[in-house]
Amino acid sequence: MTASQTEPAPHSKSRFSTVLPYLLVAPPILMVFGLIFFPALQSTLRTLTDAETGAFSLARYEMFFADKTSVTSLIFTIQIALESLLGLFVICFPLALYLRFNTSRIATGVQMISLLPMFVPGIMSAYALIRFVRGRGLFETLIYQVSPLLADAYYSPYVKPEGIVIGLIWEAIPFTVLILLAGLRQLDNGLIESAQDIGANRWYIFTRIILPLMRRSILIAFCLNFISMFGAYTIPYLLGPAAPQTMGVLMQRTLQDYQQPLEAETQAVITFLICSLVGLVYVQSVSGERVRKG
Amino acid sequence: MSTLSLHQIRKQFGDVVAVHEMNLHVNHGEFLCILGPSGCGKSTALRMIAGFEEPTAGDIRIDDRSIGMLPPNKRPTAMVFQKYTLWPHMRVYENIAFGLRLHGFSRKDIDEKVKGALELVGLPAYGKRFPSQLSGGEQQRIALARALVLQPKILLLDEPFSNLDALLRVRLREELRRIQRQVNITAIFVTHDQEEALSLADRIAVMNKGRIEQLDHPSRIYEQPQTLFVADFIGVMNLLPAHQDGGEIIIGSYRMPVPSGNEYSGDVTLAVRPEDLAIVPSGSDAAWNGQVEHVIDLGHYRKVLVRTEHMGVLKVYLPKAVDVREATTLALQPTRYTIFRDHQTPIEVHAGSVPQLSLQGMA
Ligand SMILES: Nc1ncnc2c1ncn2[C@@H]1O[C@H](COP(=O)(O)OP(=O)(O)O)[C@@H](O)[C@H]1O
Ligand SMILES: [Mg+2]
């Protein structure tokens, strides 16, 4: 900067270089505002206005919460998201722990496999899952080979809530493993060894040392997965039951099949609000951590 | 009474042998230092005692009971690490109390023991702090308290002070020794810093390339190194490649006697401490002549670098009373030297017959 002040020629260039970063981030920011915030705001305002008089009104929300189908959908979606998250952590935590504390070649292979779902487009994996888990599907056939009796008892999760949960977990595994693994890799071995040294077994090390120190990574994985699961469409639509429906499916139906754009908009705003709430928790936890550290 | 012994302990990582068949016996209340350059296998040896590494072969015994089968959390050892390893989400009090809770002590006992441990390391008022609010030295003291509060049989320390500045290192070293004596615990201290080892240890095990080269009292390690590596690694040493021809050592045009019974012909190395080189009157027969290249004043003595024709640059320590100037010539003769040859006990020679050379004559 000092150099550019003494030499007049490159001055304009240096001014450009101070503006450049803003220019570079401008398009995505404008896009976020233009494509998301502005329409979201418009929608929110529309749902809060009486269509005839133009006055402020909560009528649409009263209607939403009076309607059994939509309330069931809302609760169902929250339930599905929480169940999927529970399953996700039950699967991903041991996996991440294994990958963190095992350096064998097998572990490298397992890590690659755990990332595989990331490279399969959602719709393909949904159909693959259908073929695999539906009645008389690949899975049942395999069981049948082992024991026909067991195959009789097979309960296919296809077009059931469990189908959605399985699909959502499948989709979220790579991201979750990556986040948890990154968090685990930040834990110094010495922190764990010193706990072991004074007598802690695996369980205490996990619950008293690893879990508390992983708080932030867990929160990130929880919030971001909740948001994407809550708003998921493809998996619930293809793998889930006809009723109850998740919010994503309900919105689509309301808009396309029932041609009720205003109702769909209300559902969307409610979905958006719940997701923003979780997003807020996420932002707060991340920034709170920074303040405490710095 | 807690003793520790290692029997033929070996550790191999793939093709790398980190520790070769190692034997060691540590007495109760003894402070033993494992000293060696970086990568020589010190930490690996210590981590096998703690249980963090499984020996490829051999047996580890505490009080004559094998602990090789026990996981780290079941061993009566406690370790202080080089890195700061206090748990950042727990206050100091909780860090120390954690192990006691796991062992089912009552609340009252825990409180008493934690306070006692904090007192022992000289930080009685620090219980409420988080580790991030402590300096490096304080963190290591708390780590020591955390290790000692469970009254382990063996205390293991892996370069615990190497991340601290020199002054603090010396202070903590002294404090550690006081605490170790006070609680009368058997301790093994790993370091690459010879000054640290020489000032702390009852005995030192000098390690090189996975082997203990010498296990001895600090003064003997310095005075009577048993291998060329130890001679070179501990303190300052002039190592002079030489040739032995029967009963005589030959370096260039110089000849020196070998005590009878040590006749040999072949290459040897002569090791002479800088303080074992004395000035002799110039012109005397066996004197090593050289030119003073550099004089460094080190307070109570002078370090003098003398360039010689056949022996390169010799390091010589001279008392302040001796007047030496750069670019003058000097005649030197060793009062004591050691002859090393491959895989043989070194031969120590006290050159009592050095023609009198006394400093008084020079001063
Ligand atoms: N976990 C490990 N895997 C492979 N090699 C190791 C491992 N730990 C130590 N080593 C090797 O063993 C040797 C001794 O290491 P270490 O005991 O840490 O030395 P020191 O503590 O004396 O510096 C080194 O060559 C090091 O690279
Ligand atoms: Mg080490």
Interchain proximity A194–B146, CB inside 8 Å:
yes
Three-class secondary structure of residue A49 per DSSP: strand
Q: What is the ipTM of this complex?
A: 0.86
Interchain proximity A197–B71, CB inside 8 Å:
no
**Nearest residue, CB atoms, A190 vs list B77, B83, B132:** B83
B146 inside 8 A of chain A by CB: yes
Q: How far apart are CA A56 and CA A76, in angstroms?
A: 30
Answer yes or no: is A88 within a domain.
yes
Read off the pLDDT of residues B213-227 as tens digits, 9 standing for 90 and up: 999 999 999 999 999
For chains A and B, CB pairs below 8 A equal 60
Answer yes or no: is A48 within a domain.
no
What chain B holds in terms of domains, given with CATH numbers, is 4-228 (3.40.50.300), 236-359 (2.40.50.140)
Atom of ligand 1 nearest to the CA of B159: 21
Interchain proximity A190–B85, CB inside 8 Å:
yes
**Nearest residue, CB atoms, B73 vs list A191, A196, A212:** A196
B78 inside 8 A of chain A by CB: yes
Binding pocket residue ranges, ligand 1, CB within 6 Å: B 13, 16, 18, 36, 38-44
CATH of residue A89's domain is 1.10.3720.10
What is the distance of C-alpha B127 from the center of its chain? 34
- What pLDDT, on the 0 to 100 scale, is given for residue B353? 52
Atom of ligand 1 nearest to the CA of B210: 14
Q: How far apart are CA A162 and CA A84, in angstroms?
A: 9
Range of the domain at A90: 68-293
- What pLDDT, on the 0 to 100 scale, is given for residue A289? 59
Three-class secondary structure of residue B318 per DSSP: strand
Read off the pLDDT of residues A236-289 as tens digits, 9 standing for 90 and up: 999 988 889 999 999 999 999 999 988 999 999 999 999 999 999 888 877 765
Answer yes or no: is A279 within a domain.
yes
Q: CA-nearest residue of chain B to A214?
A: B89
B334: closest CA of chain A, how far (Å): 49
As given in the structure block, the two tokens for residue B52 are 């963090």
Answer yes or no: is A183 within a domain.
yes
- Total domains in chain A come to 1
Pairing of β B154-158 and β B77-80: parallel
Pairing of β B264-272 and β B238-246: antiparallel
* Its pTM surpasses 0.90: no
DSSP class of residue B315 equals E
Answer yes or no: is A27 within a domain.
no
Interchain proximity B98–A208, CB inside 8 Å:
yes
Answer yes or no: is A233 within a domain.
yes
Read off the pLDDT of residues B216-258 as tens digits, 9 standing for 90 and up: 999 999 999 999 999 999 999 999 999 999 888 898 888 888 8
Q: How far apart are CA B17 and CA B209, in angstroms?
A: 9
Residue A29: band (very low, low, confident or very high) from pLDDT cuts 50, 70, 90: confident
- Ligand 2 center to B64 CA (angstroms): 27
Answer yes or no: is A283 within a domain.
yes
Read off the pLDDT of residues B268-301 as tens digits, 9 standing for 90 and up: 999 999 999 988 887 777 788 899 999 998 888 8
Average pLDDT (B348-356) is: 65
- Ligand 2 center to B9 CA (angstroms): 17
